Amino acid sequence: MAIKEPQLKEVILESGIEVKPIYRPHDIAHIDYERDIGEPGQYPFTRGIHKYMYRYRPWTMRQYAGFGTPYETNQRFHFLIDHGQNALNVAFDLPTQMGLDSDDPLAAGEVGRVGMAVDTLKDMEVAFQDIPIDRISVSLTVNAVTPIILAMYITVAEKQGVPRDRIRGTTQNDILKEYIGRGTWIFPVEPSIRLIGDTLEFCAREVPRYYPVSVCGYHIRESGSTPVQEIAYAYCIAKAYIDEVLDRGLSVDDFAGRISFNFDIFGNLWEQVAKFRAARRLWARIMKEEYGAQQPDTMKMKMIAGGGGSGLTIEEPENNIVRGAYYALIAALSGAQTSALCCYDEAYTIPSAKASLISLRTMQILAEEMGLCDTVDPLAGSYYIEWLTTEMEKRIVAEMRRVDEQWGGIVNAVSQGLVQQEVARQAYEYERKLQSGEIVKVGVNKYRVEGEEAPPEVELHEYRPEAMEEQRQRLEEVKRTRDATEVEAALAEVRDACQSGRNVMPAMLRAVRAYCTLGEITSVMKEVFGTFQEPVRI
């Protein structure tokens, strides 16, 4: 007697891939271990960029932190380091990210709100007081004004006695994604790419252990893209930066290995793991086959994989702690070099100390209690994961081709607002599926108890408005005590470097050392470069 097969619900991933209920050996028969997967630490690095991965060293844990004045931020840094965090990810306030001083009228109400305020080198000196920056790797989340902030960081390191060739860390410094999502752009596209080229070139020559650019699929995904688009657009962007530097006569092996990536985690667990494995393989292939890289390091896709805010909910915020734990698990199963989690309270405001600590503890528990460091790439060889990894890679390649063929390349697509439009359309589509219940969010569109709209009993970070006044006073003090003649001369050199097209970094280093303010330097740059005119398309 024939057994009646049950009617199963169709499963289609966000990337458009249809999932079968069962995978078998023949689904991966076309995959060759040596060619497509490879040993961990060997081309094409599908299994990870190091031979022993977490067995040798667990991933770096790096919660995003910073608020108020540099003094307050310095305290939070020490709090996180005291609790076992081994790296820092610095949040700057919006005026700093937009090149405005704390006393600028446009900065009113925003000073120290979503990150720490930086006006001059003095603030960076305070923020990194007693932080051993030769041992703690520091990530600076800054984009449009990177040359200035990087110059400050290098100068702080030198003042601490750390020579340039021993400075470690990362600046985000990915402007193309800022036009797509996150929005802290200042200058037009072309000079912005040139400035990124300047930092890559300068660091390749002078600060060789530093990662000057972290290309962010993360914010593209957070703005609404699919996981496939996240990787595809990030890779198109990374290639645009590489092409800029190649035009200056450096070889790809001189600098491309110092470009890292920042990717997003939320949504389907298997899809994310396959996304990261596919991304690693594809980047290695692009660097080797398309760019002719010779050094394995150039082919290794190094990433921070972060638990994304888009997966978290304002409803029942404690559930976000559970979501964060699964995101951390995904990062660990995906071979991320660094991980960070959005905290459970971030749908309300920037995280409290308690929320940051829970995120850090989540990762520590995973690494130290659950066996995630025992063996490399534990999902390798799974019929489903290997099949899905290959499917994701194919779709990422197709999306990259679309950017080039339909949109005339990523630089054009961003300048014209085409990527932005596509991502916004995708965001709307996702939101509608969420609101119709097609995509389930527990406690939001399923199992929601109507009428229970009481505010959550979680303690939130409180903004301290006095931070602005304190910051302004310190800025005033710095301006009063600096050498005005050197300030003038240094700003003139910045202008000249921007106009002449030579690398801006030496001029930036002189300017920050003279305690020129971030706003003063940015104003000079705006005068030379102009500002970006946003193509508003929806």
**Contact set with other proteins (CB under 8 A):** 94-95, 97-98, 100, 106-110, 113-114, 178, 181-185, 222-224, 313-315, 346-350, 424-425, 427-428, 431-432, 435, 444, 455-456, 460, 463, 533-538
Q: Which is nearer to other proteins, 296 or 309 (CB)?
A: 309
What's the closest the beta carbon of residue 526 comes to other proteins, in angstroms? 13
Q: Which is nearer to other proteins, 271 or 422 (CB)?
A: 422
CA distance 176 to 159: 32
Peptide bond into 44 cis (omega under 30): yes
For 191, the 3-state DSSP assignment is helix
* Other beta carbons less than 10 A from residue 507's beta carbon: 24
Q: Which is nearer to other proteins, 160 or 313 (CB)?
A: 313
What's the closest the beta carbon of residue 178 comes to other proteins, in angstroms? 7
Q: Which is nearer to other proteins, 34 or 534 (CB)?
A: 534
What's the closest the beta carbon of residue 431 comes to other proteins, in angstroms? 5
Q: Which is nearer to other proteins, 205 or 464 (CB)?
A: 464
| CB-neighbour burial class of residue 389 (10 A; exposed 0-12, middle 13-18, buried 19+) | buried
CA distance 91 to 68: 10
Total count of residues recorded for the chain: 538
For the four alpha carbons of 222, 223, 227 and 233, in that order, the dihedral sign comes to negative
Q: Which is nearer to other proteins, 401 or 425 (CB)?
A: 425
What's the closest the beta carbon of residue 460 comes to other proteins, in angstroms? 6
Q: Which is nearer to other proteins, 107 or 303 (CB)?
A: 107
Q: Which is nearer to other proteins, 1 or 538 (CB)?
A: 538
Residue pointed to by tokens 């990433």: 303
Let me know: does 193 contact 244? Beta carbons within 8 Å. Answer: yes
For 295, the 3-state DSSP assignment is coil
What's the closest the beta carbon of residue 420 comes to other proteins, in angstroms? 8
What's the closest the beta carbon of residue 144 comes to other proteins, in angstroms? 10
What's the closest the beta carbon of residue 100 comes to other proteins, in angstroms? 8
- Would you give the distance in Å from CA 310 to the centre of its chain? 14
What's the closest the beta carbon of residue 184 comes to other proteins, in angstroms? 5
CA distance 184 to 462: 24
Q: Which is nearer to other proteins, 277 or 461 (CB)?
A: 461
What's the closest the beta carbon of residue 247 comes to other proteins, in angstroms? 29
Let me know: does 308 contact 266? Beta carbons within 8 Å. Answer: yes
Q: Which is nearer to other proteins, 55 or 537 (CB)?
A: 537
User: Which structure tokens are listed for 361?
Assistant: 């503890």
What's the closest the beta carbon of residue 201 comes to other proteins, in angstroms? 27
Residue pointed to by tokens 């520091």: 138
Task: Please state at what angle helix 518-529 crosses helix 484-500, rounded to 10 degrees.
Answer: 30
User: Which structure tokens are listed for 455?
Assistant: 């505010």
What's the closest the beta carbon of residue 283 comes to other proteins, in angstroms? 26
* Other beta carbons less than 10 A from residue 129's beta carbon: 15
Let me know: does 12 contact 18? Beta carbons within 8 Å. Answer: yes
Let me know: does 167 contact 151? Beta carbons within 8 Å. Answer: no
CA distance 313 to 443: 9
Q: Which is nearer to other proteins, 456 or 506 (CB)?
A: 456
Q: Which residues of 279-289 are buried (b: 16+ CB within 10 A; e: fewer)?
A: bbbbbbbbbbe
What's the closest the beta carbon of residue 109 comes to other proteins, in angstroms? 4
Q: Which is nearer to other proteins, 33 or 463 (CB)?
A: 463
What's the closest the beta carbon of residue 265 comes to other proteins, in angstroms? 17
The per-type count for the chain, helices as H runs and strands as E runs, is 21, 10
In 26-122, DSSP assigns E strands to 60-61, 64-65, 87-91
Classify the phi-psi angles of 451: left when phi > 0, otherwise alpha if psi is within -120 to 50, otherwise beta: left
- Would you give the distance in Å from CA 243 to the centre of its chain? 21
Q: Which is nearer to other proteins, 334 or 471 (CB)?
A: 471
CA distance 80 to 173: 24
